[in-house]
Structure 1
Amino acid sequence: MGRYGSIDYSSTVKRGLLLGLVLMAVGETGGYLAENYVSIPGWEESLFLATAVVGLLAFVLSPIVFGIVLPLTE
């Protein structure tokens, strides 16, 4: 057993990429619709922006953390 338990790194990277992609798509689509077609309060537009940013960070950082860094530290 490794240092961090029995983590399946390849499936964790795939799930992180998929989660990041979905969050980014939801945030960008909601922000686009809110800006062009629907009138919503400013806090909801900020929520869509935050969702897109978190999705982008998850999309970029999950392969680095779970694909490179953690397997090297075992």
Structure 2
Amino acid sequence: MAPTPHALPAISTLSQRQQRGMDCVHCGIVLTAETAVDLGPRRLRIADHITHWFPRACRRHPKGVTS
């Protein structure tokens, strides 16, 4: 059984940089290859089309926790 993805902020509330994985989806800090934690692909429905986006977080929020 695949692990359940952790809740993320609604994609519509994120900046373009956060949507593209350039900034943390939780706090907005700029990410680098060394500081980013991949949160795994997420499905996104746009009209009748299903696509995926690939959010990333900083090490402070590695599992999607917004503490």
TM-score by length of 1: 0.21
Q: Of Structure 1 and Structure 2, which has the larger fraction of its residues in strand?
A: 2
Q: Report the TM-score when normalising by structure 2.
A: 0.22
